[in-house]
Amino acid sequence: MKRQLALLDFAMGSLRRRAGKSLALVAGLAFVVGLFGSALLLTDALKREYERGTEAMPDLTVQRLVAGRPSLIDAAAADALRDIPTVREVRPRVWGYFFFRAIEANVTIVGVDAARIDGDPGLATGRLPRAAGEVAIGTALGELLGLRVGDELGLPVDGEMTFSRVVGTFGAGSALRSADLVIATPAHARTLLGVPEGAATDLAIDLTTADEAPVVSARIAERLEGARVLDKRLLRRTYELTFDTRGGLLAALLVPALAAFLLLAWERLTGLGAAERQEIGVLKAVGWGTADVLAARIWESAAIAVSGAVLGLVAAYLYVFWAGAPGLANALLGWSAIQPPMELAPSLDPVQAFAILGAVVVPFVAVSVVPAWRAAMIDPDRAMRGAS
């Protein structure tokens, strides 16, 4: 212990003597870990956010395909499915998109029966629409159009302006899901979207036994020609795979940056200066063993690696969760006009944090071992004379 403390003391002194080089390595490492960590933290948080929402999906969603494209489905088709064993409820849904020229963006209009919603619907002000001519809107949309509760929003339907009174607005806290939403009653959504009476966008099906979903899906496909059935459990598994793949791809793109940095570190650590060689020569001449020189060099590398990696992790965390990942999020989310603030819930546990740190610290210390060993093997007499 005493020996290691003394070696640590020496290592810290060495780092201080080469402060410029040490700080450059710490900054480089922090930058690489910051990039790598930001991508991982962002994709992981998005994945968890999606997972939290999958519970709200109906067990099965039935769409109708015509000529290979999604089409409106006959709402009466619901009656043909209600007698399938384990089917608890079949709800024809009306929802769709509306392009707003004023803001050059699509908004999502969803028909919702307020009586079906128990618990808090996530509104910041007002209530959900209960009558035709009422709507609740998302925060980002409200801000872009300057709408508040009590205002009226007129949308052109069949050549005439149809006005809807805003009766509720979603809060900024739920903007991740509500930014571009316009919630209306199913009948009013039908009017706004121009969906004919008796037609629906899709059918939502709840089952008494979720495990029966594959069997029920097969029965639905038999009964409804051109039906495409989406299974909630399948979707959950797909999200898992998709985000792991996406996150992996993003991280893989950054691997060359990490590899390049390790190469640079190797080159820096290998190239001992004349002063360092002389220093090692003196140390060995006064009785330091090879193991001591090796240990002191490893302490130096470990101090740089841990400092850089931890600073990088903290920077990545602050960038993604405090600053909302500006730049990275914009690049990922494209050219949409309505973008909610990226206020994601972190999904970071100690294992993940130490895995990110370990992925950088271990290879960095490992690449420093060989140069350290080479330095420790220098003949003291030759080293003091300045020979390589």
Partner 1 sequence: MSRRFVPGRRARWALVGAGAPFALVAFVLIDAARLTAARAGRSASVARVTETPDLALSSSARWLRHPSQSEAGAAFSDLPASLDVDPAGALLGPPREVLEAGAPEAVEIRSAR
User: Which parts of 184-203 interact with partner 1 (CB under 8 A)?
Assistant: 202
Question: Using CA atoms, how far apart are residues 46 and 119, in angstroms rounded to an integer?
Answer: 24
Shortest approach of partner 1 to residue 323 CB, angstroms? 13
Kindly state whether residue 252 participates in binding partner 1, applying the rule CB under 8 A: no
Among 76, 80, 85, 152, binds partner 1 (CB under 8 A): 152
Helix-helix angle 350-376:232-270, to 10 degrees: 20
Shortest approach of partner 1 to residue 25 CB, angstroms? 16
- Three-state DSSP class for 234? helix
Kindly state whether residue 257 participates in binding partner 1, applying the rule CB under 8 A: no
The two tokens of residue 163 are: 């006005």
Among 38, 321, 368, 378, binds partner 1 (CB under 8 A): 321
Shortest approach of partner 1 to residue 296 CB, angstroms? 11
- Residue showing tokens 């140069």: 371
Give the binding-site size for partner 1 (rule: CB under 8 A): 118
Shortest approach of partner 1 to residue 199 CB, angstroms? 17
Number of residues assigned to the chain:
388
Kindly state whether residue 31 participates in binding partner 1, applying the rule CB under 8 A: no
Kindly state whether residue 179 participates in binding partner 1, applying the rule CB under 8 A: yes
Kindly state whether residue 102 participates in binding partner 1, applying the rule CB under 8 A: yes
CA-angle at 142, arms to 141 and 145, nearest 5°: 80
DSSP string, 290-346: HHHHHHHHHHHHHHHHHHHHHHHHHHHHIIIIIS--TTHHHHHHTT-S------PPP
Applying the rule CB under 8 A, the residues between 324 and 383 that interact with partner 1 are 331-340, 342-350, 353-354, 357
Among 311, 359, 366, 384, binds partner 1 (CB under 8 A): 311
- Residue showing tokens 């730049």: 327
Q: Shortest CA distance to 383 belongs to which of 274, 308, 242, 301?
A: 274
Applying the rule CB under 8 A, the residues between 71 and 100 that interact with partner 1 are 93, 95, 97-100
Applying the rule CB under 8 A, the residues between 231 and 250 that interact with partner 1 are 234-235, 238-239, 242, 245-246
Shortest approach of partner 1 to residue 162 CB, angstroms? 10
Distances (CA, A) of 219 to 67, 84, 118, 345: 22, 8, 31, 39
235 or 384, CB closer to partner 1?
235
Among 19, 20, 83, 101, binds partner 1 (CB under 8 A): 101
- Residue showing tokens 């996150």: 247
Among 60, 73, 112, 224, binds partner 1 (CB under 8 A): 112
Residues 112, 118, 124, 128, Cα dihedral to 10° = 30
Among 20, 119, 196, 256, binds partner 1 (CB under 8 A): 119
Kindly state whether residue 210 participates in binding partner 1, applying the rule CB under 8 A: no
Classify residue 174 as left (phi > 0), alpha (psi -120 to 50) or beta: alpha
Kindly state whether residue 70 participates in binding partner 1, applying the rule CB under 8 A: yes
